[in-house]
Amino acid sequence: MTRDLEQHLTADELDLVHENRAPASIRAHLTMCADCSRLAETDRQLVHALSRLALHVPSAGFEDRVMAAVRIPEPISATEALRRRIFSTRRSLLMAATLVLGLLGSMGASVAWSLTHREALLAFSRSVQHGLLDIAWTTVRSLVTSLIEQPWYAGVRGVLDTPERLAFALGAVMIGWLGGMLLLRRLIALPDQRVAHESF
Partner 1 sequence: MSRVTEAPAVNWPTLTDQEVVLRARAGSERAYRELVRRYERPIFSLIYRMVRDRELAEDLAQETFVKALNALDSYRPEYKFSSWIFKISNNAAIDHLRRRELDTLSLEGSPHAATPDAIEATALQIGDRGETPLDVVEAKELGGEIEQAIARLRPEYRQCILLRHVDGRAYEEIAEILDLPLGTVKTYIHRARNELRLHLAHLRE
Residue ranges in contact with partner 1 by CB under 8 A: 11-12, 14, 42-43, 46-47, 49-59, 62-63, 65-67, 69-76, 80-81, 84-85, 88-91
Is the Cβ of residue 91 or residue 197 nearer to partner 1 in the bound state?
Answer: 91
CA distance 184 to 187: 5
Is the Cβ of residue 48 or residue 126 nearer to partner 1 in the bound state?
Answer: 48
Q: CB within 8 A of 166, min separation 6: which ones?
A: 160
Is the Cβ of residue 66 or residue 132 nearer to partner 1 in the bound state?
Answer: 66
Least distance between partner 1 and beta carbon 85 (Å): 7
Least distance between partner 1 and beta carbon 100 (Å): 21
Listing DSSP states for 169-200 in one string gives: HHHHHHHHHHHHHHHHHHHHPPPSS--TTTT-
CA distance 166 to 136: 29
| Phi, psi for residue 14 in degrees, rounded to 5 | -60, -40
Least distance between partner 1 and beta carbon 7 (Å): 17
Least distance between partner 1 and beta carbon 35 (Å): 13
Q: CB within 8 A of 35, min separation 6: which ones?
A: 8
Is the Cβ of residue 91 or residue 185 nearer to partner 1 in the bound state?
Answer: 91
